[in-house]
Chain A
């Protein structure tokens, strides 16, 4: 009973924190917009009555609704997607250091997207780039898992190493393409190597909203299965789980979700590693509470990092991909050290 109450409190704190960070992200920036104005604009756009008497300028409306709002929403979606898929990957591979980025999802998706840019297909239709990114991600994960698989078992060490090697290889291919594309496409490309939330528009939100929401929901629905899978492949089979099938579903959905996230924000590392790990420390490994918590915390973390990145060296912005790497990489190394000493939890 006590544990349940605890979980509820934690979720309450997460929700409060979530709205605070969203509000800060909307309100602060190079142009500071007072809190009432932010509320009034949001209320007006959503047709919520009651705040019409607060005066707002056209400029403020443009900044909040057309610049900061999509940016924040993309941050929430991407953060949630990356954190949840990270937690799922760690469950699927039974290793707390697995992460979609580390096994090559991000680099594969980036290569796919860049291919779409380079061939000019991204200008033909808005849907080509996500499609290419998705294909790239799926192929890369399939290849990495294939490399690490022997006798139907996946060696985690090999998987991580194979993931690193494949990522570097795909990175090189991406850089190779770079030398052949025109300068104006270059800017678009740069976006993929270090992900960011700048220049995100409503169409990015719309593009990511359904796949990410669906992906995260499916993964959350499969949380109990994931609990069993974490006990080990043999153990899961012993209690009657169709392990291979479930693994494929989880990997497919997780890859799809991550690829969508990469599509709308570029590749952002370490969110899927840092957030699930901290949440696991707080909530324990039970995925039915862990995954929703990761969704919330992932959004908080990414929007938080983005907001901080906007303030560090004004007027320039530090892209969120740089921020997460700056925080995440040391944390990852710290986890590795702890794993060496024995026991991650």
Chain B
């Protein structure tokens, strides 16, 4: 076993009727890998698992398990190497939970044998593992769908295979059990099993899987570590989804922000933001959806706005400390302001430290000022900022807006032009 990969699929194509569901897929899985298969509905994820289990007809290409072609296995042999949890199970006949889990022992029994004592022990062990041991005598069709999923998972585990295929095991489970199932799988992989799992929740997949395979239209779009696979570009290609992918600062995990496609009247406009202390987030998100080229500055490092800027690929000009700002930084910021189509001044507070930013705002050829609270309440410079701010508002190129309507107003202005 040792020298062979657990699973190697080469040029696998599946045709159902006249429709080609999978196009020449190549996939390799090693021991201990936890592989999430993601992709839109109808991408061919379930078909792929079936093909890799040898359950689809009209499959071309080669699937090898531990170096041996899958067609050479007998039905029971293959079931001792691969356990497959699927979505369509007929539980209508009302078997007990124990009976269903014992079905996982089928590949180990000859046709004349009844389940042995060890089979019962193994079944009970995995029922305990998935937390359904108390339901042993219950009829499986009288359980909640979450409980049923865990019974089926126990059944698959009772098969004790090195390779597990799970087709959406978390469907119809609540958040706690979804995570629980992923943790089970993670611990199984740590013990040396290989798990292929179809997931719809990309965040969960990214959080737990060691590797992701992104499938769309029957082909693999990307394959690799979650950080490599989950990119705005891949999400756009596979799901047609507009998204920003970033590391969530609170969880430290990969996260995505999605939005609907809209008319991008501001596409490729250069916009510079002057803000800080969390006043820029909402505007950045909306401008990002409009596909603007955004820059922001000057921000002190560690400002929450730098985090948002990073998530939405905003170019941010930062300084270690406002008091020791380098001339380079100042010049860079100045250039950004001067070349921007317009500059947005957010509803931020002014202190002696960031007073500099307010001064720079006057260099803008077009300035959008957001004012949700009067300047007097935000001025911590003993009136100096208020004076400058009011002078700024006198200029022709300056307009004042509320933050909840500003984007619409900017859009209108630029649409007219």
A interface residues with partner B (beta carbon < 8 Å) = 3, 91, 94, 96, 152, 221-222, 224-225, 227-228, 230-232, 234-235, 237-242, 280, 284-286, 288, 343-345
A3 partner residues in chain B, CB cutoff 8 A: 137
Given A225-B111, A227-B103, A286-B99, A238:B79 Cβ within 8 A: yes
CB distance A239 to B111 under 8 Å? no
Inter-chain CA distance A14–B87, complex, in Å, is 39
User: Which residue from B84, B88, B95 sits with its C-beta under 8 Å from A284?
Assistant: B95
User: Which residue from B53, B57, B94 sits with its C-beta under 8 Å from A238?
Assistant: B53
A237 partner residues in chain B, CB cutoff 8 A: 55, 75
Residue of B nearest to A230 (CB): B93
Supplied contacts A231-B95, A240-B107, 18 more A-B pairs, CB within 8 Å = A94-B92, A96-B92, A152-B57, A224-B109, A231-B90, A232-B90, A235-B86, A235-B90, A238-B53, A238-B79, A239-B79, A239-B106, A239-B159, A242-B75, A285-B93, A286-B96, A286-B99, A288-B114
B77 within 8 A of A: yes
User: Which residue from A221, A242, A280, A288 sits with its C-beta under 8 Å from B112?
Assistant: A221
- Nearest CB of A to B68, in Å: 16
Inter-chain CA distance A224–B108, complex, in Å, is 13
Residue of B nearest to A238 (CB): B84
CB distance A240 to B91 under 8 Å? no
Inter-chain CA distance A228–B107, complex, in Å, is 11
Given A237-B75, A240-B79, A345:B92 Cβ within 8 A: yes
- Nearest CB of A to B58, in Å: 11
CB distance B75 to A241 under 8 Å? yes
B104 partner residues in chain A, CB cutoff 8 A: 239
**Which 3 pairs of residues, A with B, have the shortest CB-CB distance?**
A240-B79, A240-B107, A232-B90
Which residues of chain B from 104 to 129 have any CB-CB distance to chain A below 8 Å in the complex? 104, 106-107, 109, 111-112, 114
A227 partner residues in chain B, CB cutoff 8 A: 95, 99, 103
Q: How many residues of B contact A (CB 8 A)?
A: 37
Inter-chain CA distance A73–B290, complex, in Å, is 86
B interface residues with partner A (beta carbon < 8 Å) = 53, 55, 57, 74-80, 83-86, 88-96, 99-100, 103-104, 106-107, 109, 111-112, 114, 137, 139, 141, 159
Given A152-B57, A224-B114, A94:B94 Cβ within 8 A: no
B91 partner residues in chain A, CB cutoff 8 A: 231
CB distance A344 to B92 under 8 Å? yes
Inter-chain CA distance A325–B139, complex, in Å, is 32
CB distance A240 to B93 under 8 Å? no
| A-B contact list, 5 entries, CB within 8 Å | A224-B111, A238-B83, A240-B77, A240-B107, A286-B95
Inter-chain CA distance A240–B107, complex, in Å, is 6
Among A96, A231, A237: residue with most chain B CB under 10 A: A231
Inter-chain CA distance A127–B72, complex, in Å, is 44
- Nearest CB of B to A153, in Å: 10
CB distance A234 to B92 under 8 Å? no
A241 partner residues in chain B, CB cutoff 8 A: 75, 106
Given A221-B112, A240-B80, A96:B93 Cβ within 8 A: yes
B92 partner residues in chain A, CB cutoff 8 A: 94, 96, 343-345
B75 partner residues in chain A, CB cutoff 8 A: 237, 240-242
CB distance A284 to B94 under 8 Å? yes
